[in-house]
Amino acid sequence: MKLKNVMFFILLLIAAVGSWYLANTFRTPEVVKAISDTRTSGFYLKAARILGTDDNGDLLYEIEADYAEQQENRQIELQNVRVRYSAGADVPWTISADLATISDDESLLQLSGHVIAVSNEGFSGQVTEIRTPLLDIDPNAYTAETNSRVQIRIGSRSLTATGMLALLQDNRLQLKSNVSGKFIP
């Protein structure tokens, strides 16, 4: 290669680098938005287990859920929920539901979607099953209440009603209205 060609090549290279430098200095800077997390400081849990205790710290009940998440309003939403009282509480009921919400003051558990309460030591010593779409439980007071339709099976007997108050520790039900049933001796 001749010196003239090498010099021409070097000048072309300097011109290319210079034009690239000038193009970058005159370019308007890109605005980069910071990605902000819109979630609050809540939590979520898989395979959650919540234990409720009395004033002495003794176990009263256990709430198990496949998934739990704290909402912005500080309530906790649960999916696929099971509620069991401890043996010491002497409450023979197990309650399950598709969804549940624990109030922000943790005093009320609102169950919804295929709520089923079962007791093997139910009424008249027979397996008792209660079904309803909505049920509010106060686990510390051992009460469950609904204003929705309720289906109750005691062995081969069945009842339906609108609304119910269950005193779980006393193993008593109070049906509110529209009670009808089928009893086979």
pLDDT at residue 125, rounded to an integer? 72
Q: How many CA atoms lie within 13 A of 150 on its CB side?
A: 27
pLDDT at 84 over 70: yes
Q: Are 163 and 148 in contact (CB under 8 A)?
A: yes
pLDDT at residue 126, rounded to an integer? 80
pLDDT at residue 123, rounded to an integer? 67
State the pLDDT confidence band at 172, using cuts at 50, 70 and 90: confident
Give tens-digit pLDDT for 6-60: 777 777 778 777 777 767 666 665 555 555 555 556 788 898 898 888 888 888 8
Give tens-digit pLDDT for 87-133: 777 888 899 999 999 887 778 899 999 999 998 876 667 888 999 99
Query: Which residues, 6+ apart, have CB-to-CB distance to 47 below 8 Å?
Result: 64, 65, 66
CATH classification for the domain delimited by 44-182, as one of 2.40.50.140, 1.10.357.10, 3.30.300.30, 2.60.450.10: 2.60.450.10
Exposed / middle / buried, residue 76 (Cβ in 10 Å: 0-12, 13-18, 19+)? buried
**Residue ranges of domains in the chain:** 44-182
Q: Are 82 and 95 in contact (CB under 8 A)?
A: yes
Look at the block and give the residue holding tokens 């108050």: 165
Give tens-digit pLDDT for 57-79: 888 889 999 998 988 888 889 99
pTM for this model (two decimals): 0.72
